[in-house]
Structure 1
């Protein structure tokens, strides 16, 4: 991916996020899928509490029906929101979560 290759802009500084290292191959988890679907079936307007998903991260996006005319358009918008965080706000050069990021709010999703 562009992120793993170090090609993604890191904020508006002109710098790029570093290339990936120690990248592990992911395996699909139907248990994780089922947990996510159970939460999504409730159609809440906020992410789930960490206490309800121990050991699981979450990327949550809220897309209004007025801005997305189809499920595919909503998915595209959610993906754009995710990448917009790193493009516009940036993160420290080492790409490490720090409590300072909590003040930025949006970057918490990107660093899980």
Structure 2
């Protein structure tokens, strides 16, 4: 995979103030955080179907609301800029990565302009012109989060909601979902980078 990249532009032309890094705006940070927290709240309430079973995941007794973390954003950005799926070394961090083909995401962008157990990575891109998602970063994050969270609907977990070795090793394990759903994760930081042929969306997680 080619390592040429351009940092993804975000929803607005104004720089963010939550963090010192200018590659993301506050609007994008708040949006991706809200996408995670809403899904975590549904899980905590017992409203998330467990795989293809006829029952939902158990309610959570200790699900924390995530806060945005600028250090995690920086580490996610540094990894995304590598434009590679080579496993990263992120100590004491969870990671999700989503990769989206530029052409496919370009089509999605035109149609939609708005809307710790194991280690994982993911990248995604949404763009109106090659190299820049522009106003479609919300759509880019949405596609990534939808892909990660959707794992639980295709391949469920045990009713005790315990992430065991056999769950991690089974085909199509919901590892990315578990990073989002991990109850004790309280911090999140994300980044979107446009590589030559793909867009990488990376989110990292940690406990307090």
TM-score normalised by L of structure 1: 0.83
- Structure 1 position 35 matched with structure 2 position 80: no
Distance 1:63 1:40, change over 3 A: same
Aligned partner of residue 81 in structure 1, secondary structure: helix
**SS of corresponding position for 2:150:** helix
Poorly superposed stretches of 4+, deviation over 6 Å: none
Q: Choose between structure 1 and 2: higher strand proportion.
A: 2
TM-score, normalised with respect to structure 2: 0.48
Tell me which residue corresponds to 1:63. Answer: 100
Aligned positions of 1:1-112 closer than 5 A? 1-44=41-84, 46=85, 48-49=87-88, 52-69=89-106, 70=109, 71=126, 72=137, 73-101=139-167, 102-112=169-179
Instruction: Give the distance between the partners of 2:104 and 2:140, measured in 1 at CA.
Output: 8
Question: Structure with the greater relative contact order (CA < 8 A, sep ≥ 6): 1 or 2?
Answer: 2
Q: Which is greater in Rg? A: 2
Following superposition, the deviation at residue 74 of structure 1 comes to 3.1
Shift of residue 104 of structure 1? 2.5
Please give the secondary structure, in 2, of the residue aligned with 1:62.
Answer: strand
When the two chains are superposed, the root-mean-square deviation of aligned CA atoms in Å is 1.8
Q: Could you list the runs of 5+ residues in structure 2 that have no partner in the other structure?
A: 1-40, 110-125, 127-136, 180-208
- 1:47 shift after superposition: 5.9
In structure 2, the CA distance between the partners of 1:4 and 1:55, relative to structure 1 (3 Å rule), is same
CA separation of 1:23/1:6 partners in 2, compared to 1, >3 Å: closer, same or farther? same
Deviations 1:35-64 (A, max 9, x none): 1111111121x2633xx1110000111211
Runs of 5+ unmatched residues, structure 1: none
